[in-house]
Amino acid sequence: MNGSSFFISPRSILLWGAAAIGFFLLYSFRDQILPALTPFLFAILLAYLLSPFVEALERRKVPRTVAILIIYSLFISALVMAGVYGVPTIVSEVNGLIKQLPSLTQQVQELLTRAEEQFSHFNLPPTVTEAVSNYILKLQVYLDRMLNAIPQFVLGLFGRILAIILIPILSFYMLKDIELIKQSLLNLVPGGHRGRILSLFSRIDDKLGAWIRGQLTVGFIVGFLTFIGLEIVGMDFALVLGILVGITNIIPYFGPIIGATPALFLALLRSPLMFFKVLLVQVVAQQLESNLITPQILGRQLGLHPLLIIFALLLGAQFGGIAGMLFAVPITAVVREIIIFWREQV
C-alpha cells in the first residue's frame, strides 16, 4: 500500500481542528445559544413542511409571495380551527392533571411503600436490602419529577408565546427569500466552487426535506391514532397524552418509549386493567407506524447507520434534552452530507 495514502494535508488538519474548536465552543455555551437557536430550527421545520405547497402554487404561475400568503392563510385557518376545538380541551386536561398531582404523588408513595414492605419479607443480606431501598427511593423521586414534568411541558409550550409567534414569521422570510439566502451563501464561496456547493445544497435539501416532512406527518398520524385509542379505552388526559406521543414519535427509537411512558404510568395508577388497555393502544399504534405508516410516507431514508443515530440522539439529549433529540438526526444528516461532499473534493 502506498504510504502517501496515509498523508494528512495541512488543510484537513485545519478543517478538523476548526470543527473540534467549534464543537467545544457550542457545547460550552449551549445554555446561552440554544434558546436563541431553537425558534430558527423550528422555523426551518415549518418552512420544509410548507415548501412543497408553495412550490406547487408557484408552478401554476402564482407569484411566490402570494403563494406563501395563501398557504399561510390556509395553515393559520387550520390552526385556529384546531385551537377553537382543541385548546380548551388541552387546558382543561392540564388543569385536571395539575389538580390531581397531589393525589397521584400520594398514590406513587403508597405503591412504592407497599413494594418496599413486600420486599422486606425476603430474607436477604442487609447490603442488598439497603441497595434496593435506595433504588426505590430514587425511583420515587424520578416518578414524582415525571408527574410534574407532564403539565410543565404542556404549559411551557403555551408560556413561550414570543418564540411561538416568532417561528411562522421566520419561516415566512425563509420561504420568501430562499433564493436570496442561497445566493448570499454562495457569494461567500469562490466562483469556481459555486456549482459544487449548489450540488451540495440540492443533496441536503432532497434528503432532509423528505425526512422532515415525512417524520412530521408520521408523528401527527401516530399522535392522532393514540388519542383516538386512549379515548376509546376511557383513559384520562387522552388529548394531552396523544399530543405528547405525536411530538416524541419524531425521535427515532427512543421517541415511542418516551411518549408512551407517562400514559402507561398514569394508567397503572388508575388500575392494572387500564394499564393493559393503554399498553394495547400504544402497541397497536406503534405496529401501524412501523409496518404501514412509515414505509408508505417515509420512503426515502437518510442513510444513517442505527448506531450513528443512537449516538446523535444521546448527544442531542446532552445538549438540549427533548428538543436536542428532536433535531439531532437531521443535523447529523446535514453534517454527514457535508463530510461526504468534502471528502469527494479532496
> Of 52-66, 259-273, 293-307, which has the strongest mean pLDDT?
52-66
User: What phi and psi, each to the nearest 5 degrees, are found at residue 302?
Assistant: -85, -10
CA distance to 5, 15, 27, 35, per residue, from 22 (Å): 28, 10, 9, 18
| Band of residue 5 on the pLDDT scale cut at 50, 70, 90 | very low
Query: Does the predicted model carry a pTM greater than 0.75?
Result: no
Q: What's the confidence (pLDDT) of residue 248?
A: 86
User: What phi and psi, each to the nearest 5 degrees, are found at residue 208?
Assistant: -70, -40
pLDDT tens profile 123-178? 656 665 666 666 666 666 666 666 666 566 655 555 566 677 788 888 888 888 88
Asked if 219 and 247 count as a contact pair (C-beta separation under 8 A), the reply is: yes
Report, in this order, helix, strand and coil percent for the chain, each rounded to 5: 90, 0, 10
pLDDT tens profile 209-260? 777 878 888 888 999 999 999 999 998 888 888 988 988 888 877 888 888 8
Q: Which residues contact 56 (CB under 8 A, 6 or more apart)?
A: none
- Does position 89 have pLDDT exceeding 60, yes or no? yes
Query: Which candidate, 345, 333, 257, places its Cα nearest to that of 300?
Result: 333
For cell 436490602, name the residue. Answer: 129
Q: Which residues contact 273 (CB under 8 A, 6 or more apart)?
A: none
d(CA 337, CA 343): 10
d(CA 292, CA 310): 23
* Alpha carbon 61 to chain centroid, angstroms: 35
| Band of residue 6 on the pLDDT scale cut at 50, 70, 90 | very low
Query: Which candidate, 289, 291, 271, 293, places its Cα nearest to that of 281?
Result: 289
d(CA 345, CA 339): 10
More confident residue, 57 or 101: 57
Asked if 162 and 39 count as a contact pair (C-beta separation under 8 A), the reply is: no
Mean pLDDT of the chain: 76
Asked if 328 and 312 count as a contact pair (C-beta separation under 8 A), the reply is: yes
Asked if 174 and 166 count as a contact pair (C-beta separation under 8 A), the reply is: no
